[in-house]
Chain A
Amino acid sequence: GENVEQHPSTLSVQEGDSAVIKCTYSDSASNYFPWYKQELGKRPQLIIDIRSNVGEKKDQRIAVTLNKTAKHFSLHITETQPEDSAVYFCAASNLRGNKLVFGAGTILRVKS
Chain B
Amino acid sequence: DVKVTQSSRYLVKRTGEKVFLECVQDMDHENMFWYRQDPGLGLRLIYFSYDVKMKEKGDIPEGYSVSREKKERFSLILESASTNQTSMYLCASRLQGMETQYFGPGTRLLVL
Contact = CB atoms under 8 A, between A and B. Distances in A.
Interface in A1-57: 1, 4, 6, 9, 32, 34, 36, 42-46, 49
Contact of A1 (B48, B56, B59, B90): B59
Nearest to A45: B103
Nearest to A2: B59
Interface of A: 1, 4, 6, 9, 32, 34, 36, 42-46, 49, 89, 91, 93, 97-105
A102 B99 contact: no
A100 B45 contact: yes
Contact of A32 (B40, B99, B105): B99
A102 B42 contact: yes
B11 to A, nearest CB: 16
A34 B105 CA distance: 19
B93 to A, nearest CB: 12
Contacts of B99: 32, 34, 49, 93, 97
B103 A43 contact: yes
Given A1-B59, A42-B105, A43-B105, A104 B100 contact: no
A97 B50 CA distance: 12
Contact of A99 (B58, B100, B106): B58
A44 B43 contact: yes
A100 B105 contact: no
B90 A98 contact: no
